[in-house]
A and B are shown apart, each in its own frame.
Chain A
């Protein structure tokens, strides 16, 4: 009896939870409204079955519970009833599968007019490439990847020479313009997932995958990696901005980096260090190192703590160390923290930082980068 009551209570709570749940789809920002529709049909059918099954069980428990002298019916089979049930199930399945397959046929057929952009995944960052004036992307290969060619462009391919390279984890697309997103990875599996777009695809090293959509709402959307890609997976953040036409052109006009004009992070920057203040080149080298050495898996470039402290606002801060002493985060502190990991552990964190192989110059670059995240105004004044 209690079970019957609980089953009915579960059904009622489920329905109420569904009705009042604040957790639902983020508002749609692409042309894939049909995915939402198929999902609603599926929810309706499966919801009805869920309710029917549980209520039927509850009713049986009440109606056919054991009573003295009562005996069960003897009925091995009922072919007609079974045939009806199979037919009904078949209809329900078809009602879900048919719209689903029609939507899917569209999902895998990008319109010829679609603009093409490329997203490249690497542990744990995003980069992008747009075709230049020739409208074509050049060929790429992992073996071309190096400090001066992090995108792995084929230097012999003329189509790639005008490709626009974007090293920040943010890309813009134009509203109401179909876009096909080509996906590459240089190390492990990743997945390009923007929930308001609904559709998505894995990024697989060794091949190019793709998906397409038409963004329908301007705004700035988060790109998530949705395929486990190592310890920094949850921090692999990017953004896609849907612009109107003017906004998009303005942004595109500012993207000028091509393979020829790509500046590799400098190997020696003794002149940069001469003045004792971080230069832009040193900072960007530090940023690249933070990515390539995997620092960002644990240290977010924001204030939020991951496995280790976040870097924004860290420089110049007084930190309480494990053991209770206070320390000022300055150059000397950072140098020791990087070169002798866990020696001056900040309270509340675990001594898990590995020793990373870095030369003095690279340590300087990292410090400059970390410093740049806290002291933008101060750095400018120092340079004068």
Chain B
């Protein structure tokens, strides 16, 4: 095969780094934008913690601002940081390299996807500058409240939020179609589906879920825009708001909740599955041991993906929906714990009898397992409908979802960045700074969220601007909140260490060589590092084995790359034997 890609390689700065159609550049664009907007959300969370920890001390955080901070923090983190970074960042960078393709199959669409994403971010940030400010309806944007006076930003703020979400979904759809098609159609010779790294499996299934779930959010955003701007009544019953009878009639607020959570619950796994995949690969690589039960891991990802579409109403046990739904959704929700538990067991069994290198990526991967386990376990309290009753909408919920889809996916992202940074830049990130970043983030997250569960059990409701004069809340709860705020500020501040390391290592980092971790998977076998335009030089690679041939008995090195033709190891040397 000829090698036309090199001639097509763009040469000007603009075509190379700005209007780029190269998946690697687009991935970096996505990542930098997501980190930048995530930084805004981090600052917002620290501001809201200041009010909770030291109420009234900071005069500029009034109730309006507080609810705006809460809302924007949540929406930015879930959609514009986590979703964008896992799919647009990791998905874009890793899929073509891991499946052995020269690029995404639709490079122009891929570029368009990033620019639409950037537009969505700009529109969202614009809402900070409209009269009334951004919406303060909570990230769930429940109507009628979201579009009625009495809620901050119920004018321009909510409109821009909904428009931005719609644009984001267009971007995610363009990217998503690309990722799925590339995985299914552009794998290199020998790369069967059952030889894909779990990272690709996680991103693939998450992307399919995103393509099926985001439309529900899209239509609810459009319908709410109509309710707000055109006076339709999709979600609006007849109401008397602030003493005024409004013209709405006959709509259902609960319909919105169904649509929102039909998107919202799969969204949890859209974030979790890529994290599962990344962590599986990090643990296997840095424990120098094949991932335990690969087939089971793949099936667990697929089963979780399917089941996550039939658990959404566990967010709505006390919403006023037909109470008989509770039985069904409690059962499906607890059943999904089984494939999830399998994943945890297999990570543990991968560590077992491994050769564990506690590198920075490995620290983050283990941190992920620990925080994900606690977040997953507290989910059993909330998924089981009767135990949800006293806990719903309290700080227990806040602690739960921050552990399971805040801290743990972020740790997976950090681990992934430390791991693949040498691939992207050809340089290592600083080890000492990386460890400092890990320790503060990991221990700090426990300090923030572990005690928070207890405030929820006590019954402290979430989304309260202040807790004055509630007799059942003892003064000690306020002291605990002050402690949590201090911990949150410290963790927030130490993310600067990461940013510094990220920026500085690009120029001053130690040169990494082509495969610093001794990884077996295909992305580390490119002829150049970082890979050039077209990734593979003149000829596409040929794959002969699964990506987990570590410490194969009889092999000289402790890993066999996927391109190795050695007769040892391999995915066919396989399971069914119970003994090692």
Contact = CB atoms under 8 A, between A and B. Distances in A.
A145 B240 contact: yes
Contacts of A155: none
A188 B294 contact: no
A191 B463 CA distance: 13
Contacts of A350: 59-60, 62
Nearest to A150: B240
Interface in B368-419: 369-370, 373-374, 377-378, 380-381, 384-387, 389-390, 392-394
B287 interface: yes
Contacts of A70: 355
A81 B470 contact: no
Interface in A162-202: 183, 186-189, 191, 193, 195-196, 198-202
Given A50-B374, A72-B558, A228-B142, A123 B242 contact: yes
A306 B67 CA distance: 14
A49 to B, nearest CB: 6
A6 B461 CA distance: 31
Contact of A204 (B253, B352, B471): B253
Nearest to B323: A108
Contact of B455 (A23, A85, A141): A23
Contacts of A71: 288, 355, 551, 558
B348 A222 contact: no
Contact of A198 (B56, B390, B576): B390
Nearest to A48: B377
A50 to B, nearest CB: 6
A66 B578 CA distance: 25
Contact of A193 (B242, B381, B393): B393
B509 to A, nearest CB: 23
Interface stretch (B7-15, B35-43, B115-123, B145-153): B145-153
A99 B385 CA distance: 11
Contacts of A10: 370, 443, 446
Contacts of B354: 60, 64, 72-73
Pick from A54, A123, A196 the residue with the most CB of B within 10 Å: A123
Nearest to B472: A26
Given A85-B345, A188-B144, A23 B457 contact: yes
Pick from A54, A205, A350 the residue with the most CB of B within 10 Å: A205
Given A49-B373, A82-B345, A228 B137 contact: yes
B484 to A, nearest CB: 12
Contacts of A46: 377-378, 380-381
Interface string A2-44: 0100110010001001000111111000001011001100110
A302 B574 contact: no
Contact of B576 (A17, A79, A226, A297): A79
A307 B62 contact: yes
Interface string B245-262: 100001111100000000
A228 B349 CA distance: 43
Contacts of B150: 123, 187-188, 229-232, 294, 297
Interface string B282-295: 00000111101111
B553 A74 contact: yes
Interface in A307-358: 307, 348-350, 352
Given A17-B450, A24-B454, A73 B551 contact: yes
B320 A65 contact: no
Contact of B348 (A60, A123, A231): A60
A246 interface: no
A74 B330 contact: no
A305 B335 CA distance: 47
A346 B172 CA distance: 49
Contacts of B358: 1, 3, 61, 65-66
A71 B319 CA distance: 55
B144 A60 contact: no
Given A142-B240, A293-B243, A307-B63, A191 B292 contact: no
A6 B318 CA distance: 39
B337 interface: yes
A89 B337 contact: yes
Contacts of B369: 53, 57
A158 interface: no
B209 interface: no
Nearest to B569: A74
B290 A75 contact: yes
B276 to A, nearest CB: 15
Contacts of B385: 100-101, 104
A76 to B, nearest CB: 5
Interface in B459-514: 459, 461, 463-472, 474, 476-477, 480
Given A188-B148, A200-B318, A204-B253, A143 B454 contact: no
Interface stretch (A90-98, A127-135, A267-275, A372-380): A90-98
B179 to A, nearest CB: 27
A70 B320 CA distance: 59
B145 A188 contact: yes
A6 B435 CA distance: 14
Contact of A209 (B288, B320, B392): B320
A25 B457 contact: yes
Contacts of B468: 300, 304, 306
Interface in B284-330: 287-290, 292-296, 318-320, 323-324, 326-327, 330
Pick from A45, A142, A187, A196 the residue with the most CB of B within 10 Å: A187
B351 A104 contact: no
Nearest to B351: A60
Pick from B243, B292, B326, B369 the residue with the most CB of A within 10 Å: B243
Nearest to A123: B150
Nearest to A231: B63
Contacts of A203: 320
B241 interface: yes
A97 B335 CA distance: 9
B473 to A, nearest CB: 9
Contact of B574 (A24, A77, A189): A77
A49 B377 contact: yes
A265 to B, nearest CB: 11
Pick from A1, A76, A193 the residue with the most CB of B within 10 Å: A76
A200 B349 contact: no
Interface in B523-549: 548
Pick from B149, B345, B369 the residue with the most CB of A within 10 Å: B345
B449 to A, nearest CB: 11
A224 interface: yes
A116 interface: no
Contact of A200 (B392, B446, B552): B392
Contact of A77 (B145, B294, B351, B465): B294
Contacts of B480: 23
Contacts of B149: 294
A76 B348 contact: no
Given A39-B387, A189-B253, A231 B64 contact: yes
Given A191-B318, A226-B461, A86 B342 contact: yes
Contacts of B323: 107-108
Given A64-B356, A207-B320, 4 more contacts: A23-B451, A206-B238, A230-B150, A297-B150
16 contacts: A21-B451, A39-B381, A53-B348, A60-B351, A65-B356, A72-B550, A73-B551, A82-B296, A82-B342, A96-B380, A123-B150, A198-B390, A206-B251, A227-B393, A234-B464, A294-B149
Interface of A: 1, 3, 6-7, 10, 14, 17, 21-26, 32, 34-35, 38-39, 42-43, 45-46, 49-50, 53-54, 56-57, 60-61, 64-66, 70-82, 85-86, 89-90, 93, 96-97, 100-101, 103-105, 107-108, 122-123, 141-143, 145, 152, 183, 186-189, 191, 193, 195-196, 198-207, 209, 221-222, 224-235, 292-294, 297-298, 300, 302, 304-307, 348-350, 352
Complex A-B, nearest 9 residue pairs according to Cβ-Cβ distance, in ascending order: A206-B237, A77-B575, A195-B459, A230-B150, A188-B145, A209-B320, A46-B377, A234-B464, A72-B289
